[in-house]
Homo-oligomer: A and B are copies of this chain.
């Protein structure tokens, strides 16, 4: 810090332009000059001033991650930690800086929004966890800032990377049907989120593949929280389901707690299939059958996508859907060993 190109140039006996060229990997530099410059840079630990660089290039190398988490409990769910981790890792790899914007209140959103899109502080943004109808997304699209969403947007014109929620839920339903369960319940995710909607649709579709329909009495929705899973399951239990697909593992933890409290066990009393495969308890017990979603890979693709958008290499909207995988373990009542041995 404090050192400038000019300083380095002086020390290496060249002009600042040559130093700039060396630093930016320009090939048109003599071998000896390059050598001298690199020595000085290394010796002094010189790092270019990003502000000056941004000012002239109108690029900051910063990618914004916007989480409009008005609902506080969003942070309860390990999903967000994973998204942050994935985006961070991808930014690191791409040599970008990550700036995090968590809007916890309307006020914060109002105050911060201009910094995100107007000040030139970020080159592009990744947004996640909007709820349907959130005007924020539309505003961001209008701002024309390079934008990629993690998850499926509810409006057109947004580039995104989503996981195949429909197919995951479909697989879960089909698996439960295949296992011969008769009263298959749905403990759904909020239907004001596209993930909730897609998982509902996929579940219904999976049932349909076995000529079944979703009994409205066998459906209750939660809000992704453990507590809501518990509450919804308490209600569901009275309807005597023999299996339940829970649209998130965190809610599944709540559902299992409700079952335990009622003296019910999985899978013997009620088979359980979750969605996510990233909660600590799920990972460490390897017991819950669940739909694994590739959060890190999704976040990574989203980062690549904004970068392509920033460079103008693709024309928005572009989208991509990542495959999910049903991980069969014990909680659904299918012997995992048998499944593992299954040559199919």
Contact = CB atoms under 8 A, between A and B. Distances in A.
Contact of A120 (B51, B82, B100): B51
Contact of A225 (B98, B225, B280): B280
Contact of A97 (B73, B108, B121): B121
Given A76-B78, A226-B283, 7 more contacts: A1-B120, A45-B114, A49-B120, A75-B85, A78-B81, A98-B101, A100-B100
21 contacts: A1-B117, A45-B118, A47-B115, A47-B118, A49-B120, A51-B52, A51-B54, A51-B60, A75-B81, A76-B78, A84-B102, A85-B104, A88-B102, A89-B102, A92-B108, A97-B101, A97-B115, A225-B280, A226-B281, A250-B280, A257-B285
Nearest to A47: B118
A127 interface: no
Interface residues of A, number: 58
A253 to B, nearest CB: 6
Contacts of A92: 102, 104, 108, 111-112
A315 interface: no
A183 interface: no
A98 B97 contact: no
Interface of A: 1, 45-52, 54-55, 58, 60, 62, 65, 73, 75-78, 80-82, 84-85, 88-89, 92, 97-102, 104, 108, 111-112, 114-115, 117-121, 225-227, 230, 250, 253-254, 257, 280-281, 283-285
A99 B97 contact: yes
Nearest to A64: B97
A107 B89 CA distance: 12
A127 to B, nearest CB: 15
